[in-house]
């Protein structure tokens, strides 16, 4: 009976973590460049031998790892000359207070110093450093990231990629960085820049809502099983074998 309580409780743990991932996905449904995440779980059996040399199975659900879905989100037209979307594989390289990081959010602006920056002030990288623009002149960007003003080349957007499958973690503000600090980015080749567009979140409302309902029902079932096991244990302790 104690084993049953333990198994039911272990089954509830990954379901709570799954709900957290789904809630985070739904909260970022309108976040530019956001990539939805999910939770891998694994079931394993641990065989232990009792006094009669007869094994019994300890079946548990364990959270394995959080994964990120890197599929491309929908392209949304903004008609803003400083909004860029990557169609294909790769990330914009930006310089943050924590060092170089990577994003699919191309909602950029020009700061008072003339540097191209993200919404949180991080500097957008070029192949040769930072991109400095005249805020009063028209900006034109080619599909390969060449930025010009009045026919003068200002630099190339630094679009990088990593070995797939990606092994990256979130660092806030739609930014990502490799889990391995030694992982080096390489120049992306399979991409095109769309000026005047932003990449929307790839969160599927239907998929996440179905997942949330399913996880809630499974959690509720485990909760009922836990309660039933607890009641049975209480009767065994307080009633069975009582002297009349």
Candidate from 13-27, 29-43, 225-239 with smallest mean pLDDT:
225-239
Q: Do 189 and 121 sit in the same domain of this protein? A: yes
Evaluate whether residue 11 is within a structural domain: yes
Q: Collapsing DSSP states into helix, strand and coil, what is residue 243?
A: coil
> Looking at the structure, do residues 113 and 169 belong to the same domain, yes or no?
yes
56: confidence class by pLDDT, cuts 50, 70, 90? very low
Are 169 and 95 contained in the same domain?
Answer: yes
Q: Are residues 124 and 234 in the same domain?
A: no
| 63 and 157 housed in the same domain | no
Looking at the domain assignment, is residue 231 inside a domain?
yes
Helix (H, G, I), strand (E, B) or coil at 220: helix
Tell whether 66 and 175 lie within a shared domain.
no
DSSP 8-state code for residue 132:
B
pLDDT at 221: 79
Are both 83 and 182 inside the same structural domain?
yes
Beta bridge partners of 42: 62
Report percent pLDDT > 90 for the chain.
63
DSSP summary character for residue 157: B
Tell whether 80 is covered by a domain.
yes
pLDDT at 235: 66
**Residue 243 resides in a domain:** no
As a whole number, mean pLDDT of residues 62-88 equals 90
C-alpha distances in Å from residue 216, one per residue of 16, 18, 139, 149, 209: 9, 10, 49, 54, 11
Q: What average pLDDT does the structure give for the chain?
A: 85
Whether residue 229 is found in the same domain as residue 177: no
Same domain for 138 and 194, yes or no, is yes
Give which of 108, 70, 75 is closest to 90, Cα–Cα. Answer: 70
Model confidence pLDDT, tens digit, residues 129-161: 999 999 999 999 999 999 999 999 999 999 999
Asked, for residue 244, whether it belongs to a domain, the answer is no
Dist. CA 234–CA 239, nearest whole Å: 8
Q: What is the mean pLDDT of residues 198-226?
A: 88
Same domain for 191 and 81: yes
Q: Is there a domain that residue 154 lies in? A: yes
C-alpha–C-alpha distance, residues 243 and 206, integer Å: 58
What are phi and psi for residue 93, nearest 5 degrees? -90, 130
* Triad 119, 92, 80: Cα angle to 5°: 50
- Estimate to the nearest angstrom the gap between the alpha carbon of 157 and the chain centroid: 24
Question: What is the pLDDT, as a whole number, of residue 10?
Answer: 66
**Cα–Cα distance for residue pair 109/103, rounded to 1 Å:** 15
Q: How many domains in the chain? A: 2
pLDDT at residue 47 greater than cutoff 60: no
Which residues touch 9 (CB under 8 Å, ≥6 apart)?
Answer: 222, 226
Bridge partners, 86 (sequence order): 193
Closest by CA to 15, choosing from 34, 37, 35, 38, is: 38
237 pLDDT above the threshold of 90: no
Q: CA 89, CA 44: separation in Å to the nearest integer?
A: 36
For residue 115, being part of any structural domain is answered with yes
For 79-105, the pLDDT digits (tens) are: 999 999 999 999 999 999 999 999 999
Contact by Cβ (8 Å): 161, 186: yes
Q: Which domain holds residue 43?
A: 2-70+203-238
Do 113 and 177 fall into the same domain? yes
216 shares a domain with 191: no
């Amino acid at each position: 009976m104690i084993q049953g309580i333990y198994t039911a409780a272990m089954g509830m743990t990954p379901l709570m973590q799954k709900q957290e991932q789904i809630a985070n996905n739904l909260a970022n449904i309108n976040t530019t460049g956001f990539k939805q995440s999910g939770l891998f779980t694994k079931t394993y059996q641990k065989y232990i031998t009792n006094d009669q040399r007869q094994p019994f199975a300890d079946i548990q659900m364990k959270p394995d790892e959080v994964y990120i879905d890197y599929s491309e989100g929908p392209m949304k037209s903004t008609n803003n000359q400083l909004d860029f979307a990557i169609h294909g594989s790769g990330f914009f390289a930006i310089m943050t207070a924590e060092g170089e990081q990577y994003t699919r959010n191309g909602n950029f602006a020009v700061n008072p110093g003339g540097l191209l920056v993200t919404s949180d002030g991080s500097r957008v990288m070029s192949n040769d450093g930072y991109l400095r623009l005249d805020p009063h002149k028209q900006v034109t960007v080619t599909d390969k990231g060449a930025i010009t003003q009045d026919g003068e080349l200002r630099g190339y957007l630094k679009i990088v990629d990593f070995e797939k499958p990606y092994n990256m973690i979130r660092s806030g503000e739609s930014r990502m960085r490799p889990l391995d600090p030694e992982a080096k980015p390489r120049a992306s080749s399979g991409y095109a820049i769309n000026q005047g567009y932003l990449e929307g979140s790839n969160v599927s409302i239907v998929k996440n809502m179905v997942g949330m309902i399913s996880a809630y029902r499974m959690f509720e079932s485990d909760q009922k099983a836990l309660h039933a096991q607890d009641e049975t244990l209480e009767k065994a302790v307080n009633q069975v074998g009582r002297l009349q």
